[in-house]
């Protein structure tokens, strides 16, 4: 019995002396045989494959980072050129109906006054506490761009002509320090004003008892060319915008750009 144990111990010792250093070297050199996969050798080839895969992964990460940077630039470019969503080609729309009103100086102003001029039309009223101050502050920016151009004009038409008399409109214009000779603040027959707004320009305006200021109306500006036609650029789908938002910088900037095209 002892002889058997001695023999087994001798075999183990020989195995340890001969084979363990070899296994250690293979592990160190990456040449271990994987018995679980039909004896295929991972070895140096496998190590190279792993290294190549790491390189590919690294390059992929760089590519992803580059794509993200490019996307960021594209987004910034879109934001910087937000106006480019609309076509800069101006569409010719309907003819402005004939009108006749009185301005802040007591003068009769008709379509003929603006014949041969590019002008902007708005509907407002002097006691409006909400959007009108914004509209006319922005209209001052438009006036400033064309202050010395006699072929430019503005028609600010009151939808509350019963209150907005010549004297009231004169004071209102002076309060805004209006200086362009072709900027008229107009008053006249109430029904004629509302018909021009609602039917002539399709810009809603009406008395509204439930409103704090007593009226409802839009904050839009209409651009008229020298022949008396309403003009507008198109949106990205090819549809005319028709009007310009008088409450936002973007709308005012587009209006200024398009006035320059017509002058």
Name the binding residues for Cu cation.
128, 132, 217
- DSSP assignments along the chain, one per residue: -HHHHHHHHHHHHHHHHHHHHHHHHHHHHT--B-TTTTT-B-HHHHHHHHHHHHHHHHHHHHHHHHHHHHHHHHHHHHHHTGGGGSEEEEEEEEEPPP-EEE-TTS-EEEGGGGTT-EEEEEEE-TT--SHHHHHHHHHHHHHHHTTT-TTEEEEEEES-TTT--HHHHHHHHHHTT---TTEEEEB--HHHHHHIIIIIS---EEE-TTSTTSEEE--EEEEE-TTSEEEEEE-TTS-B--SEETTSHHHHHHHHHHHHHH-
Could you list the residues known to form a binding site, using ranges: 128, 132, 217
Structure tokens at 188: 């006249």
């Amino acid at each position: 019995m002892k002889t058997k144990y001695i023999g087994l111990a001798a075999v183990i010792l020989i195995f340890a002396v001969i084979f363990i250093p070899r296994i250690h070297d293979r592990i160190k050199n990456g040449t271990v045989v994987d018995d679980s996969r039909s004896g295929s050798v991972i070895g140096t080839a496998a190590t190279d494959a792993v290294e190549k895969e790491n390189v590919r992964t690294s390059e992929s990460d760089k590519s992803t980072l580059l794509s993200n940077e490019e996307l960021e630039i594209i987004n910034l470019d879109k934001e910087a050129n937000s106006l480019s969503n609309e076509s800069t080609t101006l569409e010719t729309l309907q003819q402005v109906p004939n009108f006749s009103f009185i301005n802040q100086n007591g003068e009769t102003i008709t379509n003929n006054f603006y014949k041969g001029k590019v002008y902007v039309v708005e509907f407002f009223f002097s006691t409006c506490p909400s959007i009108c101050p914004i509209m006319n502050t922005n209209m001052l920016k438009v006036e400033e761009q064309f202050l010395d151009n006699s072929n430019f004009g503005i028609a600010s038409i009151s939808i509350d002509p019963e209150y907005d008399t010549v004297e009231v409109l004169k004071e209102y214009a002076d309060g805004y320090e209006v200086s362009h000779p072709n900027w008229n603040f107009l008053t006249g027959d109430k029904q004629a004003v509302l018909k021009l707004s609602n039917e002539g320009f399709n810009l809603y305006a009406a008395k509204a008892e439930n409103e704090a200021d007593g009226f409802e109306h839009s904050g839009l500006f209409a651009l008229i060319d020298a022949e008396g036609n309403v003009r507008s650029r198109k949106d990205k789908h090819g549809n005319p915008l028709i009007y310009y938002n008088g409450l936002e910088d973007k709308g005012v900037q587009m209006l200024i750009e398009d006035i320059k095209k017509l002058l």
